[in-house]
Structure 1
Amino acid sequence: MDIWVIWEYSASVTVIGLLIWLIKLIFHDKLDARWHYYIWLVLLARVLVPVHVRPVPTPLSIFQEIPLGKWMEMGRILAQEKGYAELCGLLGRAYLWGAGLLGALYLAMWAMLRLQVALAPKADRAVREYVEGIAAKYGCKGCRDIRVRRSPSPYVCGLVHPVLVIPGPDRPAGRGCRRSGGEAPVPGLPGEQVILHELLHKRHRDVLVNILVHGVRVVNWFNPLVWLLTAGVLNDSEALCDQRVLEHCGGETARDYGELLIGMGTGRNPVRIGTSNMAGSYRDMKIRIRRIRDFKRVPGKIGVVTLCITLILAVSAIGSAAEEGQGFPVPAIGSEKDLERALLYARCYHAHTPEEAVYLFLRSCRECSPVYRMAVMPEDEIPRYQEYAWAWFSGQDTEGYPAYFPRETGIAWKYRVYN
């Protein structure tokens, strides 16, 4: 496993995620929960598109301004030249072990949860009629499989054959557990707003988001920023479902629903793979309560502005700069360090088009610049040319002139290049 590719991928995901977080922070009180959630689709685009693929030519590319690929390539070359190639290979194997162990842990947790749900008793007729009544009232589809087991909150488990799991009657009812505008048939069962919340999760297949988030965490298990960003995705998914509940039940129930969420808050956020998760940590609940407070306060036209920002960010996140470069500025070389940096930068430079590659070659012949020559040097000629460049800089005998270039620079200009 090439650890440099993994680092570049994780860094690109982090950069896009932090930009999204910055936009959300700037417009936090001007966006409703729906826009706070859908803007994360930009991150999904960056996650799914391979790191070296830039399928859309655009006037602006984030990674043209933040050249992660070039930095990683320079790091790889330096590691090889300094003798750290074996260490990089060891880090690559360690990464695979870490991803494999975390993936295995998640699979084990998912299998154990599915087993516990399968062994839980099915809901009786009264409970099923209660759930079906809520579904019919709000125009949702019910759930064929309903299970009752001890849990801090109800949740939907599974994507292909979803199961609605609701807390059993023996669970102590938390604050606001039945404050929902409808009496449960059995004391201790969740109220209708809570059931509606999970039915809406099922309708919109939000369990898929949970699965994708944990997949991203497996790939980026070593990056704490990705874990924080994906936690924001999950919480925004829940906040959007809260908004959907209020849209069905009416904004006048926002206060009661907010108190219900406060009653369901926990000191930590339980990890369930392949489920929805209505209950959350106190910090997550604080964000969701703020979104409920802003319900229907967001100006309608702000959605158009947000859509434009989202599209621009998405295209620049996966696009490539459309303009064609004409080489790069050659820095002043006054020391060995300057020469080393210049040669390394030139080695990592890639022409945007065949025409630019020819242009660089002709310019290297005309100016006799070691930096331009390094930019067009064949890979197998690089070690010999580096020795020549060092000899040239120190004023030593340079009889070993690279045969890749003509001795008489005027010869190169006599040729014409056709497409």
Structure 2
Amino acid sequence: MLKVLKVRIYPNKEQQITLAQNFGCCRFVWNYYLNKTNTQYEQTGKGLSYCDMAKDLTQLKKVKEYAWLKEASSSALQQSLKNLEAAFKNFFEDRARFPKFKSKHGKKSLRYPASCSLKDKGVKLPKLGIIKAVIPKNIDGKIKSVTVTNTSTGKYYASILFETKDVPTNKGGKISGIDLGLTKLVTVFDGENCYKVDPIKTTKRYAKILGRRQRSLSRKKRGSNNRRKQVKRVAKYHEKITNKRQDFLHKLSRKLVDENQVIVVKNLCVKGLADTKFAKSVLDTGFGILVNFLNYKLDREGGKLVEIDRFFPSTRLCNCCKFKNDSLTLENCEWDCLECGTHHDRDENAAKKCDSFSQNREIGGRLAVSSNQ
């Protein structure tokens, strides 16, 4: 089993300079061969493979004009070419957009695929030596790679990919259905009890402060030191918003995983919801992030995440008699069933329908279930 541990690292001045050179070399290699592949494709109708780019890179280092590429780790440059090939593959298989040229501004990252280890409370990397790091736990396993990231706020992180033994788990717990929403982030029904969790709305909380910082940034002269300082101040608030949202979603997903063996959730189209008038609220709640957290945490512990087809009318169907209320609108938070007369809370009814579906009481129709395990 492969696991990732992200830790904060503290490079000294010399290591920061070396990392900046490595970031620049990897960025140049990406942009150079992206441009070369595009040019060759326009001329011949065929692009460059990883082997072609790797051979050409070896010759490029021998050119006096590009001799500075030798200062960077060769494995990191080769990994940049592999990432470019993977980006083209994802594009042609309709999994991602066409690869873009990288900018020297903003977030920077590079990956060391070999010769990495943990020594003396730090991370040892090629041509960098030991970088001081805060490692919260022991890593029992072989380190496969280390990805170093430099954020817009000037912080450095190392994502350590390591291999561990598969530990068989017999996870126990309940089967719960959850409904995702904007007013209530999750409504959970475990077959007996139902409870709701409110979203923290981090973007809305810091919108006024962030707006003042961004207006101040717009008044700064381009290229000035004051503008660079203000860019960093704005980036710090964006980072704070992201960290608070992820911390909340990690704690919520951990609570749900600890209590349940199987979690049933609707497969929402977040990209489509982001094109509506509720775009800001949808992106602030982090539906997709929460589902991803539930998926990998359940998978690690022997649980299962079941996703119901997004077109399944869980909100409109009565969980008692299965009557479908087609007149239900977004303004109706509560409604009464026209057949059995049961009074429903909109979100609780949707969570109960997901739970009843997980118990195999609903079969057929448009209930396409995909299991992520």
Structure that is richer in strand per residue: 2
Q: TM-score range by the shorter chain?
A: under 0.3
Instruction: Give the number of the structure with larger relative contact order, counting CA–CA contacts within 8 Å between residues 6 or more apart.
Output: 1
Please report the TM-score for the alignment, with normalisation by the length of structure 2. Answer: 0.20
Structure that is richer in helix per residue: 1
Please report the TM-score for the alignment, with normalisation by the length of structure 1. Answer: 0.18
Structure whose alpha-carbon radius of gyration is higher: 1
